[in-house]
Structure 1
């Protein structure tokens, strides 16, 4: 029999283990596919354009674009894991079995979040490893870079939970990614520094929340960016707190979990 101090966490550990095994069992889809996609980006922008274009003084285009591609892999996969897993559980109805277990809303969110963060960070590490064949990164602030990647994975794990609760169909779930996340990523400075834009568009780009994640991560790796690390971390922490609170309120109320 488990000791009293361990018993309240048994359901949490079981759910976390299930969520991790869920994406590992289909690793070809959840891990290999995004790694191949990122590798194609790296080939196009690294091997073909990397030495021919320069958008940041002192760095090749490959060096500039690699941090954005790494974080894009982290963001997309953290969001995909929590959103798809929770939505499918709602769709087929087995979420009801989970709700009768002695698991608190905080443990519920934490289990989905940690599994999603793990998937996102695994993809990010894999993309980073592959990127070494195309560009050498100076790693100006490695701890800051790791912290920003962790924050980004946490933030989009929360957003995935929120999207899974609001979506009513698979099409509506995919809209969050196709019409919100991807446009914000592409317009957030993955492929270009916003400092080269006209003043109006640069100002609008600073309203893009993903700009601070991407630029902060790039700043940590390269040592230069369009905004300060402090500003980037403040924005990331603020967004993470808002989305976590939002997700906690929805889960605590059982929003769309019982119907």
Structure 2
């Protein structure tokens, strides 16, 4: 556990020392989304009957920022270590695959929660969405960050150069996040796209998180919890298996 704690602190300090980039930039991006979409659609869109569009948008932006940054923390750390060659210092240390997983994913959860909290603090002044059931919001935030941190480890293990990592993020993570109901309720979509959205696990993360703010959502929060929980366990199991086998770490 001492080694796990040391690696965890190292990973937290790695992103915190450049917090202007790793925390400040995502917060600014979320605010720009809110200003543009909120200004254009606030008077034209009502969600769940009475909720204003800006208030509806805030939890989606918080969760989107949280998920993307949890993924970025583990994936960027691992690919940088592989390319610069300093990963060898971890490989020769007596750390188990569990220690790697807990440290890397734990740090990604911290970064995701810090960014999400920053986005919430800044955007809540535009239209306070309230917190009807905060425990639901916290559960989905932690599970979502852990899932994306695990996925980031898989991407970091697989990628051998930065453009492969960029492809993974731009063609898998970004589309699945943007099409998960961040900017709209899936009930407004045609039947075909509603069905497609329900096949996207990212939708359940965002919808369950939004339920914590409003007490209402597109699907049952228990269904969302089951999907997100099962997805997190499956991705974590795959990540641990890859770490244990030394996939693309030991040649």
Q: TM-score range by the shorter chain?
A: over 0.9
Give yes or no for contact 2:147–2:232 (8 Å, CA) kept in 1. yes
Paired residues of 1:46 and 1:135 also in contact (CA < 8 A): no
* Correspondence 1:189-204 to 2 at 5 A: 189-204=181-196
State the distance in 2 between where 1:116 and 1:200 align.
Answer: 34
Cα distance, 1:102 vs. partner? 1.6
2:205 matches 1:213: yes
Per-residue deviation, 1:236: 0.6
Q: Counterparts of 1:198 and 1:12 in 2: how far apart (Å)?
A: 48
Determine the structure 1 residue equivalent to 2:149. Answer: 157
1:134-186 Cα shifts (integer Å, max 9, x gaps):
11113111011011101100000000000001112101101111111111112
Question: Residue in 1 aligned with 2:217?
Answer: 225
Q: In the alignment, does 2:117 pair up with 1:125?
A: yes
**Contact 2:48-2:216 at 8 Å conserved across structures:** no
Contact 1:148 1:233 (C-alpha < 8 Å) held by counterparts: yes
8 A contact 1:47–1:134 mirrored in 2: no
C-alpha RMSD of the superposition: 1.2
Q: TM (normalized to structure 2)?
A: 0.96
Answer whether contact 1:74 1:123 (CA < 8 A) is retained: yes
Q: TM-score, normalised by structure 1?
A: 0.94
Secondary structure at the aligned position of 2:132 is classed as: coil
Aligned partners of 1:217 and 1:74: how far apart in 2?
Answer: 11
Shift in Å at residue 88 of structure 1? Answer: 0.9
Are 2:69 and 2:112, in contact at CA under 8 Å, matched by a contact in 1?
A: yes
- Partners of 2:42 and 2:138 in 1: CA distance: 24
1:87 aligns with 2:67: no
Max radius of gyration: which structure? Answer: 1
Aligned residue number for residue 175 of structure 1? 167
2:56 aligns with 64
Q: Confirm whether residue 17 of structure 1 aligns to residue 22 of structure 2.
A: no
Count, aligned residues: 251
CA distance in 2, matches of 1:176, 1:75: 14
In the alignment, what sits opposite 1:5? none
How far has the Cα of 1:55 moved from its partner?
A: 3.6
Runs of 4+ in 1 over 6 A off after TM superposition: none
Separation in 2, partners of 1:251, 1:138:
41
1:48 shift after superposition: 4.7
Maintained 8 Å contact 1:155/1:239: yes
Q: Is the 8 A contact 1:86 1:164 kept in 2?
A: yes
For structure 1, the residue ranges without an aligned partner over 5 or more in a row are 1-8
Q: Which moved more, 1:90-99 or 1:66-75?
A: 90-99
Q: Distance in 2 between matches of 1:114 and 1:198?
A: 39
Q: Is the 8 A contact 1:68 1:190 kept in 2?
A: yes
Whole-Å Cα distance in 1 between the matches of residues 51 and 2 of structure 2?
50
1:198-244 CA-to-partner distances (Å, cap 9, x unmatched) read 11221111111111111111112111111001000001100100010
Structure 2 runs not aligned, ≥5 long: none
Check if 1:33 corresponds to 2:31: no
Partner of 1:249: 241
